[in-house]
């Protein structure tokens, strides 16, 4: 006797409300700060400066306070769809690029972090900080232009893949500043 097979109508999941607020201030672009967060460090509230300070003091968070750069927003990863669906979105490949003007003192840092696969990434825009949930690949370069007035800076490409887009959080106050190796603000 054949068995009946039931296929639910689509893969419906709960979609939260979309909010409209014509009075909300726009978030302005440019990567302004960056941070690397050890894979074994977890936030309860990424907007809480106390959590960031604890991670910095434990050398679980590395702050790069002043950068300029961009984030590509992600390129979709698709696989073959089923039925009438041609493709299925399975995630995103992301890239962020930033320039770090703290050049001479950070050669050892960039030569080491490029070999590590133990860090997640955070980047700050005007008022918001965005976090990855997966570890990242860091590809630093130190190009030198022919222009006599150009600056030699670290040009850093950060790559990662995730199923979801980075979530923005309010930037914790006083965190994206210079710290010494003991975690104290300089």
CB 53 within 8 A of CB 76: no
Domain spans, the chain: 33-170
pLDDT digits (tens, 9 = 90+) for 90-125: 999 999 999 999 999 999 999 999 999 999 999 999
Q: Output the six-digit token pair for 86.
A: 């041609």
Average pLDDT over residues 154-177: 96
pLDDT digits (tens, 9 = 90+) for 50-87: 999 999 999 999 999 999 999 999 999 999 999 889 99
Give the contacts of 118 (CB within 8 A, at least 6 positions apart). 38, 39, 135
Residue found under tokens 């440019």:
30
For the whole prediction, is pTM greater than 0.75? Answer: yes
* Cα dihedral 130, 118, 75, 80 in deg (nearest 10): -130
d(CA 117, CA 113) in angstroms, rounded, equals 8
Give the contacts of 127 (CB within 8 A, at least 6 positions apart). 27, 170, 171
Q: How confident is the model at residue 154 (pLDDT cuts 50, 70, 90)?
A: very high
């Amino acid at each position: 006797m054949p068995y009946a097979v039931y296929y639910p109508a689509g893969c419906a999941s709960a979609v939260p409300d979309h909010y409209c607020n014509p009075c909300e201030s726009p978030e302005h672009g440019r990567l302004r700060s960056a941070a690397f967060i050890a894979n074994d460090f977890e936030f309860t509230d990424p907007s809480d400066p106390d959590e960031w300070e604890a991670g910095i003091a434990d050398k679980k968070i590395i702050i790069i306070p002043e950068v300029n750069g961009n984030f590509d927003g992600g390129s979709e990863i698709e696989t073959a769809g089923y039925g009438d669906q041609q493709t299925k979105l399975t995630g995103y490949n992301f890239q962020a690029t930033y320039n770090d003007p703290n050049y001479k003192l950070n050669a050892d840092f960039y030569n080491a972090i490029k070999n590590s696969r133990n860090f997640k990434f955070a980047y700050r825009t005007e008022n918001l900080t965005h976090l990855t949930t997966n570890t990242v690949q860091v590809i630093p370069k130190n190009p030198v232009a022919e222009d006599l007035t150009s600056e030699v800076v670290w040009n850093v490409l950060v790559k990662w893949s995730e199923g979801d887009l980075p979530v923005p959080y309010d930037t914790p106050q006083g965190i994206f500043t210079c710290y010494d190796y003991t975690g104290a603000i300089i």
